[in-house]
Structure 1
Amino acid sequence: MNYKNGKDVLPPSLLKELQQYINGELIYIPKQQERRAAWGELSGSRKLIQRRNEDIYRNYLKGLSLAELESKFHLSIESLRKIVVKMRAAGVRLETAAGSSAIRHEGTTGARS
């Protein structure tokens, strides 16, 4: 933290305004907060895991059991259960169009089809 004289760095009108509140006393002005990238945003990990979770949910909706998903994705049954519950709560629904599967996010909760 560096000390700077307000006369040297502030416009005169702002200096006058501040003097009405803090006349001759020290004031700390914090840095502006920077927006930090969320985990996995820059590396692509977040998208990769989202695609994996959608694939897990797609397979679950096709009828694979949690035990089968555990073997296929090498995740614990508890982790798979959390993924399925989260995807269901987010309103993700499997759609089949022209033989290809697509994931669609809706505002309502979906049920296992």
Structure 2
Amino acid sequence: MSYKNGKDILPPSLLKQLQDYIQGEIVYIPKKEQKRAGWGENNGTRQIMERRNREIYNMYKSGSTMMELIQKFHLSEDSIRKIIVKTRVLVSEAAR
């Protein structure tokens, strides 16, 4: 955030109106409302994680053991189980 002098950027009539409310103080003017990107949407991390989770689920369905998945993906058993359950739900919803 950078400091801007109102005299340099505001129309004189608006500057005069603002001076009726505040003079010589710093005022923060928030950005307009805008939709923010979700976690990992801009840099592709979300897609990478979804692909990894789908791979874990498919390997589990194909017979890989929990220990094999733990060693391959360097995740805890609890994390692997959560991924399998969550991905199973997503896959079944997509099939409907």
TM-score (norm 2): 0.63
How far did 1:106 drift? 1.6
Number of aligned residue pairs? 69
Equivalent position of 2:72 in the other structure: 72
Equivalent position of 2:95 in the other structure: 106
Q: Structure 1: any 5+ residue segments left out of the alignment?
A: 3-7, 10-29, 93-104, 108-113
RMSD in angstroms over aligned alpha carbons?
2.0
Equivalent position of 1:49 in the other structure: 49
- Deviation per CA, 1:57-96: give whole Å up to 9, x if none: 110000111111001111111000000000111125xxxx
| Whole-angstrom distance in 2 between the partners of 1:38 and 1:81 | 24
Equivalent position of 2:63 in the other structure: 63
Greater share of residues in helix: 2
Q: Structure 2: any 5+ residue segments left out of the alignment?
A: 1-5, 7-12, 15-29
Equivalent position of 1:36 in the other structure: 36
Runs of 4+ in 1 over 3 A off after TM superposition: none
TM-score (norm 1): 0.54
How far did 1:32 drift? 4.0
- Deviation per CA, 1:23-81: give whole Å up to 9, x if none: xxxxxxx8642100101001100000011001101100001111110011111110000
